[in-house]
Structures are given as C-alpha cells and as structure tokens.
Amino acid sequence: MSQEFFATSPGGLEGLLASELSALGAGDVSEQRGGVRFSGSLETAYRACLWSRVANRVLLPVAHFAAADGDALYTGARAVDWAALMQPGMTIAVDFGGLRPAVEHTHYGSLRVKDAVVDAFRDATGKRPDVDVEGAGLRINAHQAGEDVTLAVDLSGGSLHRRGYRRAGVAAPLKENLAAAMLLRAEWPAVAAQGGGFVDPFCGSGTLLVEAALMAGDVAPGLLREQWGFAGWQGHDPGLWQVLLDEAHGRRDRGLPALPAIVGYDQDAQAVRTALASVEAAGLTGRVHVERRELADAEPPRRSPGAGLVATNPPYGERIGGDRSLLPLYARLGDLLRSRFPGWRAMVLNGANLEIGLKPERSWMVRNGPIKCRLERFAIRDEDAGASAEEAASLANRVRKNQRRLKSWLKQSGVSCYRLYDADVPEFALAVDYYRTLEDGPWLHVQEYAPPATVDARDAARRLRAAVAALPDATGVAAGQIAFKVRQRQKGRQQYQRQAQAGRFHTVMDGDARALVNFTDYLDTGLFLDHRPVREWIGANATGGAFLNLFAYTGMATVHAALGGALTTTSVDLSATYLEWTRRNLEANGHSEGPAHRLVRADCLSWMREAARRGAETYELILLDPPSFSNSKRMQETLDVQRDHAELIALAAQLLTDDGLLIFSTNRRRFRLDVDALGGLRVEDRSDWSIPADFQRNRGIHRCWFIRR
C-alpha cells in the first residue's frame, strides 16, 4: 500500500535529498522548503530511514487541520486516533515548529499537542502514556505553517544525522549529513569506484573520513543506530525491517574490502584521538588512516593509483565570516592543493568567506549550524591563481634585502624581535615583525594595512595570497608560525577588542628582559617594538628611584625599570587583562606584585588628579604613553590625546620630584604638541633618538619628548 511521507533536510540540500529518495525507489518526489515530499510503501520509508545520507527525519503524516490558537491545536490533535498509532506502554515526545505559526511559542505548542495525545490515548485505553523528551518510544512531529497544522509520526525517532559513531560529549563542527552532502556534491562515489583516494587535511573529529568510507563501502548510514521511531508505532513490521537490515549487512560485508585509500590529517593531537575513536566506533579500524600532521605535510595516499578527492572543513575562526586573520591558512591550503594534488578534485566548506587562490568550478550556499558557508568544488590544475611571479618575487627580494641591511645591527645590538618589512613595496601593504621565541623559534606577526576603497578587493586578496606564499621562503619561518591580522584605523573601544581566544603566550627577549607575547588574540602582540629604545633607557636610568608607568599596557617598561634597580614601580591601567599581563611579565623576570611593585587598576586621568590633589607621592621617572583615543565604558570621560595631552602632561608633571623626568610618547599621526600650554615645563623633542634602526623607514610611527619641571 502506497502512503505519503515527508523527509526533512538541512536548508539548501533539498535537491540532493530528492535525488537520493528517487534512487531508493520513492515515487511522486517533490521538493519542498526544508525537505522532500514522497510516496511509497512501508519498505520505501524503511529504506529512507536506513539509507538516506542527507535526510534529518522521515515523517509519516497522520493528520492535517487548521488551528488559530492553542485550544484549536489541542482539539485537532485530540481528534486523532492515537491508540491506533501507538503501541501500549510507549513513552512519547512532541516536537513543535513551523513557518510563521499561529501558535508562536514552540514550547506551548508542544505542550498542547502532548496534552491532546495523552488525553486521547487515556480515553481510548484507560492508560496514560509517559513523556520522555530524550528517549521517547514514539516521537510526534507537529508543524504549523500559518494556521495549517500537520501532525506526523517521526519514523526515524530523532535526527538521522546521528549515525551512532560519534563519541558522546564530543562536539563537532560538521554534522554527518552535511558531510555526506559535501561528498555527494563532489561526486565521491564515482571517484571511489575508480579507485581514487580521499584526503582530509583538517580532519577534526573525523566526520568526513567516516562518511567517505561509509559511502565508498556501500554501508548504510543507519546501520549503527540502535533506536528508531517506528519501533513504538503500531504499523511497524519487524520482519520487513529485519530483511532490510540483513541486506544492508551483506552489502557492507561486500563493500568494505574494496575501499580505496582514505586518509585524514590534523595538527591537533586531541582531534586525531577523537577521529580515531570515531573510526573505531564506525567499525572502520584498519580501513581509514588518521595521522597527526601539519597542513604543509599533507600528501596523497601512497596506494592511491590516480586522481582522488580532497574534502575538508577548514577552521572558521572566532568571528563568523570574513575572518581575514585566517587568510594565510586558506592561502596555504590553496598552495597545498596546487602543489601536491594536481589532477585531483577538491571540496571545501568555506565558512570564513576567504579565497584559497583557486577558482571553483561550482559553488553552493549552505548552512553549517548558524554559519552561512560556501560549499566550493575545485578541479585542481597547474594554474597561476595567485599574484604574478614577479610581484611575489619583489616582496621576497625586499624582505631578504632588509634582512641583510639589519644583519650587522642585529648582531651588535642583540635584538631578537624587530620590524622586518613595512609596506616597502607599494603593492604589498604589510607590516611584518619577526619574533624569536624561546619555546619554538621564530614567528612572524603580519599585519595588513587595510587597502583603500579605490583598490579592487579581488586584486588586493590576490596579492595577499602571494605575500603569504612568499614569506616562509623569504624568512625561513614555517608557514604554521605566521600570524596574520588586518590593521585598520580603530575607533572607540575597537582598539582593545579581543581578536581571538587562543590564549597561547610565547616568551621572547626584549633586551635583558623576558616578555610574554601573544600573536593571535589581540591586534598587538603585547610588545611595542618601536618603543624599544625608550624601554632600554628606562632600564638604564631607573636605578634607585621610584618609577610610574601610566597607561601601562603589558608593563614591559615597568619590567625594565625593575630590572634596572628602581626602588619602587607603580603601573596604572584601566584594563584588568593588561594588569594581569603586567603581573605575569614581572614574574617572568623574578619580580612579583607587592609594595615594591604596585599594580593599580584605574582610569589614569582620574588617578592622576587624585594623586596630585593628595600630593603624597612623587616619582623620579614617569612614562606617559596614552592611547590616541579611548572611550572605555569604565572611564568617566573620553580621552583624546590631541585634545587632552596638555592636561595629562601637567598632571603627570605634578607627580615628579624636583629633578625628575617625564617621558611623554604618542603614536597619534599628525600629533602637534601644544608647548604654549605647558608653561613652566622644559620640553626636549627626543623623537629622532627614540626611533630604532628597524623603523627608520617609518619614522613617523611615534613621537617622544623628555619633559622636566
């Protein structure tokens, strides 16, 4: 007997699901929003549950009616003969949703339907079914579009994307049915049938690996599931279901021995362990290979005779969509595909909205949870998708030239963290800083100066990919140790906003001091390289006195003062994050917070006013390096260094001893010091002295004055 069914799917995959259901023998297949309507026998529905790789649920509609409110919803649901649908002793659960439903509150809607089902079943049998939201024996799906309501038995009994091989408690960035859709869009079954291999260089929890193996091995995706919605349905035919299970087991036994090479790589050890656990749970141990490798080391399987498929879900970053800090990673992926996988096909789920330097032959818009992604398919050829070789060479040559120019100075000064390149070549508007860490060697911190609106965005992106590709060879720094950010004019609170949440710190030497730097989480690393001469001068001249660091940032000037023999240091900043960073920097250099080294969380302007009013403390040496602008919500007022610098300097000068020195510095472009407003103070411009050798090309990076009473 033919019946009507409805299979739900993730948005954008309705066409794939329709093709899949047709191949399974479904009739009257019709794509709808959010799924596919089809007809067929009970066997057809069972096959959809067992074999569909794309569907979320398979529903058997049992009632249609109109409901303008909760009471009408209850009345329509109570009219259904639930005793004829449910097996006695079954627990139930109701899922309610819809498209602009008249009953807007989904929890209320599910309660009204649940009450109706319970009351109707109790009236018919004298027994009240219990509710079990998680493990219900029968799930009822209620869908309302406007006032039109459809009630259905959920034959799948929960989303079909839960195949049963994922470890409990492990969150994965990719659902199984979306992974399967990627493989179907890439025509993986045909590639596998020809013996082509499969590689995922960002395998994560192993979802794509397992789905690729199940698909190539003719394994039903539902074969591992232990709970089905139809088990609590009166119309269930256990004999027919067992026949289909036996058939699926036979196909699995014949298909798995013929699997092509399937390999997953990931640089994260925990991800590799999770992927291996998924492979084992899916019964694929020994048939799917998972290995810890950096992206640059990914390669085709040795036993893959010809072209195959690379399918992957690269990281999206902390910010959804357009996270340009990930551009080096995506550029490296494109380089890897071109260099290691010519002739192969690639499928990339691109949630960062970044180009990899290859032109997709087809693309589709899909959603991975809340994230809108581009699903891109590539035919990998030996083509030049980056900037011209001449452009890339010009950047590499300039970087090498700068290294040669700085070599003798670096050797003489002992500097190990420095500005290597600063937009020297107009086409590559980048600032490249070199950091030699004590833990794992050299890193590059690369900041892109946001291009003006007159520059074509695609052209700028093309050049950036070329820069990312050129820097490892030009500097000898591994591609995986290049951090990339976009540096643009910051407004208001943006200048101190966190960029990511990696929380990974490295130790570098800043002269004789150890400094903790962070390459990923903030716009700056925690160490202003252009202020190196000022910090060194403070270390050499703070001996035996009291040092005050205003707008202390991460406290490296304080560290130098402490190492230089300052009797006391006081560091004032409004940010708890930066004060904690200062505390850690002090500890890394053998000092700790206490009476000798005070850390004060306060608005510097308010703190100075109060300190000047009290007149209880003075300092031999003060560093005043305010931000150009700040309107932190914790401040009593906004700060504009051009407008407010005279007051800042005057207040700081009141805290000086008679022979004390105030160092005032600012990175504000086109800043003009109002000398007339500083009456009674002696001002000496030390800007030229304060610019180190590695910043000579950009001498306007900051201004610096020595000020005395």
CA contacts within 13 A on the Cβ side of 260: 25
How many angstroms separate the Cα of 518 from the Cα of each of 31, 329, 412, 667, 683? 50, 18, 27, 21, 35
How far, in Å, CA of 547 to CA of 445, rounded?
31
What sign for the dihedral angle of Cα 483, 488, 489, 495? negative
Q: Is 429 helix (H, G, I), strand (E, B) or coil?
A: coil
Give me the pLDDT at residue 689, please: 97
Q: Provide φ and ψ at 423, rounded to 5°.
A: 55, 35
- Residue 488 and residue 449 in contact, taking contact as beta carbons nearer than 8 Å: yes
Do 335 and 422 lie in a common domain? Answer: no
Look-up of token digits 């869009």: 185
Token readout for 165 is 């091989």
Spatial separation of the C-alpha atoms in residues 6 and 20, rounded to whole Å: 13
In a domain, 241, yes or no: no
CA distance 205 to 174: 9
Residue 264 lies inside a defined structural domain of this protein:
yes
> In whole angstroms, what separates CA 615 from the centre of its chain?
50
Residues 535 and 471 in one domain: no
The enclosing domain of 453 has a CATH number of 3.30.750.80
- Residues 394, 355, single domain; the answer is no
Upper half-sphere CA count for residue 631 (Cβ side, 13 Å): 5
List pLDDT tens digits, range 367-409: 888 888 899 999 998 554 444 456 678 889 999 999 999 999 9
Q: State the total domains in the chain.
A: 4
Domain assignment present for residue 588? The answer is: yes
416 CA to centre of own chain: 30
Statement to judge: residues 450 and 538 lie in one domain: no
In this structure, are 630 and 666 located in the same domain?
yes
pLDDT value for 493:
39
Q: Do residues 114 and 192 both lie within one domain?
A: no
Cα–Cα distance, 70 to 82 (Å, whole number): 19
Domain match, 459 and 589 both: no
Domain for residue 106, yes or no?
Answer: yes
Q: Are 515 and 509 in contact (CB under 8 A)?
A: yes
Q: What is the pLDDT of residue 142?
A: 96
Residues 6 or more apart in contact with residue 684 via CB below 8 angstroms: 705, 706, 707
CA–CA separation, 398 and 668 (whole Å): 28
We report the CATH number of the domain holding residue 298 as: 3.40.50.150
Sign of the C-alpha dihedral, residues 98, 104, 106, 112? negative
Which residue in this structure is represented by tokens 């590539």?
A: 378
Helices 532-541 and 556-563 sit at what angle, rounded to 10 degrees? 30
352 and 422 in a single domain? The answer is no
Range of the domain at 536: 524-708
Q: Do 412 and 543 belong together in one domain?
A: no
Using the 3D structure, point to which of 444, 469, 488 is the last residue of a domain. Answer: 488
Kindly provide the b/e burial profile for residues 527-549, where b requires at least 16 CB atoms within 10 angstroms of the residue's own CB. Answer: bbbbbbbbbbbbbebbeebbbbb
Tell whether 196 and 334 lie within a shared domain: yes
pTM, rounded to two decimals: 0.75
Tell me, what DSSP letter sits at residue 59?
E
Q: Which of 488, 511, 543 is the last residue of a domain?
A: 488
Alpha-carbon span 524 to 485, nearest angstrom: 9
Phi-psi region of 551 (alpha: psi -120 to 50; beta: other; left: phi over 0): left
Q: Supply the pLDDT for residue 636.
A: 62
Q: Are residues 674 and 637 in the same domain?
A: yes
Residue 266 · residue 278 · CB < 8 Å: no
Asked, for residue 136, whether it belongs to a domain, the answer is yes
**Is residue 60 in a domain?**
yes
Within-domain flag for 506: no
Last-in-domain residue among 102, 124, 154: 154
> What number of other Cβ atoms are within 10 A of residue 670's Cβ?
6
CATH number at residue 17: 3.30.2130.30
Give dist(CA 286, CA 516) in Å, integer: 44
Q: Which stretches of the chain score pLDDT less than 70?
A: 168-172, 305, 317-325, 382-391, 451-458, 487-502, 632-636
Three-state DSSP class for 385? coil
* 288 domain-assigned: yes
Looking at the fold, whether 347 and 428 belong to one and the same domain comes out as no
What is the model's pLDDT at position 498?
Answer: 45
* Residue 405 backbone zone (phi > 0: left; psi -120 to 50: alpha; other: beta): alpha
pLDDT at 344: 95
Give buried/exposed letters for 220-241 (b at 16+ CB in 10 A, else e).
Answer: bbbbebeebbbbbbbebeeeeb
Give Cβ neighbours of residue 349 (< 8 Å, ≥ 6 apart).
Answer: 174, 178, 182, 312, 313, 314, 366, 368, 373, 374, 375
| Backbone φ, ψ for residue 267 (5° rounding) | -80, -15
Q: What is the pLDDT of residue 527?
A: 97
Instruction: Give the number of C-alpha atoms closer than 13 A to the C-alpha of residue 331, restricted to the C-beta side.
Output: 25
d(CA 627, CA 573) in angstroms, rounded, equals: 11
Q: Using CA atoms, how far apart are residues 237 and 580, in angstroms rounded to an integer?
A: 65
